[in-house]
A and B are shown apart, each in its own frame.
Chain A
Amino acid sequence: MGLFDKFQGLVAARGELEALGIDPFGVEIERILSPTEGIIRGRRTILAGTNNYLGLTFHPDCIAAAHRALDAEGTGTTGSRMANGSYASHRRLEAELAAFYGMRDAIVFSTGYQANLGVLAGLTGPKDVVLLDADCHASLYDGCRLSGAEVIRFRHNNADELATRLRRLGARAADALIVVEGIYSMLGDRAPLEEIVAAKREHGGYLLVDEAHSLGVLGERGRGLVEELGVLADADLIVGTFSKSLGGTGGFCVSDLPALELVRYSSRPYIFTASPSPATIASTRQALSILASGRELRARLRANFEHLHARLTAMGYTLGASPSPVIAVVLADRVEALQFWNHLLQRGVYVNLMLPPATPNGVSLIRCSVSAAHSPEQIDAVCAAFAELRATAGSVVAEHGAGG
Chain B
Amino acid sequence: MLEYPQILAELKSGLTALTQGRLEIGEDTDLVGDLNLDSLQVMNLLLEIEDRFDISIPVSILPDVRTVKDLALRIENLARGG
Show the binding face of A for B, using Cβ within 8 Å.
129, 134, 144-145, 148-153, 155, 165, 168-169, 356-357
Q: B58 at the A/B interface (Cβ < 8 Å)?
A: yes
- Is B60 within 8 A of A150, CB to CB? yes
Decide yes or no: A151 and B59 within 8 Å by CB, A134-B43, A357-B40 being known contacts: yes
The B contact surface, by secondary structure, is: helix
Q: Chain A CB within 10 Å — which of B44, B55, B57, B60 has the most?
A: B60
Q: Which of B1-51 contact A (CB under 8 A)?
A: 38-40, 43-44, 46-47
Partner of B43, one of A129, A153, A168, A169: A153
Closest A residue by C-beta to B59: A151
Partner of B59, one of A152, A155, A168: A152
Q: B56 at the A/B interface (Cβ < 8 Å)?
A: yes
Show the binding face of B for A, using Cβ within 8 Å.
38-40, 43-44, 46-47, 54-60
Closest B residue by C-beta to A147: B60
- Is B56 within 8 A of A152, CB to CB? yes
- Is B55 within 8 A of A168, CB to CB? yes
Q: Report the minimal beta-carbon distance from B80 to chain A, rounded to whole angstroms.
A: 14
- Is B60 within 8 A of A134, CB to CB? no
Give the docked Cα–Cα distance between A357 and B38 (Å). Answer: 8
Decide yes or no: A134 and B58 within 8 Å by CB, A357-B38, A357-B40 being known contacts: no
- Is B47 within 8 A of A153, CB to CB? yes
Please name all residues of chain B whose beta carbon is closer than 8 Å to the beta carbon of A150 when the two chains form the complex. Answer: 58, 60
Kindly list 12 other residue pairs between chains A and B, CB separation below 8 angstroms, not including A129-B58, A134-B47, A153-B47: A134-B43, A134-B44, A145-B60, A149-B60, A152-B56, A152-B57, A153-B43, A153-B59, A165-B56, A168-B56, A357-B38, A357-B39
Give the docked Cα–Cα distance between A153 and B59 (Å). Answer: 7
Partner of A151, one of B38, B55, B58: B58
Give the docked Cα–Cα distance between A153 and B62 (Å). Answer: 13
Closest A residue by C-beta to B36: A9
- Is A151 within 8 A of B40, CB to CB? no
Please name all residues of chain B whose beta carbon is closer than 8 Å to the beta carbon of A153 when the two chains form the complex. Answer: 43, 46-47, 59
Please name all residues of chain A whose beta carbon is closer than 8 Å to the beta carbon of B38 when the two chains form the complex. Answer: 357
Give the docked Cα–Cα distance between A165 and B46 (Å). Answer: 13
- Is A151 within 8 A of B60, CB to CB? yes
Give the docked Cα–Cα distance between A150 and B47 (Å). Answer: 15
Q: Report the minimal beta-carbon distance from A151 to chain B, rounded to whole angstroms.
A: 4
- Is A155 within 8 A of B47, CB to CB? yes
Q: Report the minimal beta-carbon distance from A362 to chain B, rounded to whole angstroms.
A: 8
Give the docked Cα–Cα distance between A284 and B46 (Å). Answer: 41
Give the docked Cα–Cα distance between A149 and B60 (Å). Answer: 7
Q: Report the minimal beta-carbon distance from B59 to chain A, rounded to whole angstroms.
A: 5
Q: Which 6 residue pairs spanning A and B have beta carbons closest together?
A: A150-B58, A151-B60, A357-B40, A152-B56, A168-B56, A357-B38
Please name all residues of chain B whose beta carbon is closer than 8 Å to the beta carbon of A144 when the two chains form the complex. Answer: 60
Please name all residues of chain B whose beta carbon is closer than 8 Å to the beta carbon of A148 when the two chains form the complex. Answer: 60
